[in-house]
Amino acid sequence: MIRSLLAIVAGYFSITLLNSFAHLIVSVYFKTELVLSGVSQLPSLPWVIGFTILQFVWGLFGGLLASTLAQKNISIAILGFILLIAVIGMLNYSVLNHREPLWHLISSPTLTMGGIFLGYKLQLDQQQKNTLQ
């Protein structure tokens, strides 16, 4: 139980840290205001598209990390992780709806949850391959 909760926390912090670090790099490179989330402060449309796609990649990494760390009750840990992302997405909507576009507030948690689920499925397939050998 505690290991599953720690896996969820580690997965969430990995997503948050990677996303914030990528925003930090762009802010320093373009010498813009430091904003560690969202797409409204990004310099152009290709950057917006890239950061939107990165939400899926960060979710994939977080899902792989969480499912690796959980070891037992992996499906419960991933379900909790996805629910955490959904709740945080709703909180982001209520706080950031005046600053960020609606499509981003919907697509970001959706892509992250999709990445988490794909990471879980990849880890599950890997475990099944290892048990068959």
3 state SS for the chain: CHHHHHHHHHHHHHHHHHHHHHHHHHHHHHCCCCCCCCCCCCCCHHHHHHHHHHHHHHHHHHHHHHHHHHCCCHHHHHHHHHHHHHHHHHHHHHHHCCCCCHHHHHHHHHHHHHHHHHHHHHHHHHHHHHHHC
* pLDDT per residue rounded down to tens, the chain (133 residues): 899 999 999 999 999 999 999 999 999 999 888 888 889 889 999 999 999 999 999 999 999 999 999 988 899 999 999 999 999 999 999 999 999 999 999 999 999 999 999 999 999 999 899 888 7
What is d(CA 93, CA 14) in angstroms, rounded to the nearest whole number?
21
Domain locations along the chain: 1-132
